[in-house]
Amino acid sequence: MEFNIAKCKTMHIGSGNIEYNYSMKGRRLNAVTTEKDLGVIISSNLKAAEHCYDRGIAYCKANRMLGLLKRI
């Protein structure tokens, strides 16, 4: 199985990180500060604020599930 280079990204974690440019097969990979993986938003500073404040999506999903459980 080969990597899909268009979907590969780099994230520089930590404030003292030297931000190198990485490449695969001659193509430079995009550097991102946040990335969503398996429904969880991960940021370069490793704080959960981005995930919790993502337009209240996590909060809304939790309230929907509580409402469903209450109706059952």
More confident residue, 15 or 55: 15
Question: Which secondary structure element, helix H or strand E, spans residue 57, and what is its range?
Answer: helix 57-71
Structure tokens at 67: 């409402």
Task: Report the pLDDT averaged over residues 62-66.
Answer: 86
What integer pLDDT is reported at residue 28 of this predicted model? 93
The backbone region for 39, taken as left when phi is positive above 0, alpha when psi lies in -120 to 50, beta otherwise, is left
User: Rounded to whole angstroms, how far apart are CA atoms 4 and 40?
Assistant: 21
Is pTM beyond 0.85? Reply is no
Greatest C-alpha distance within the chain: 55
Rounded mean pLDDT, 52-60:
67
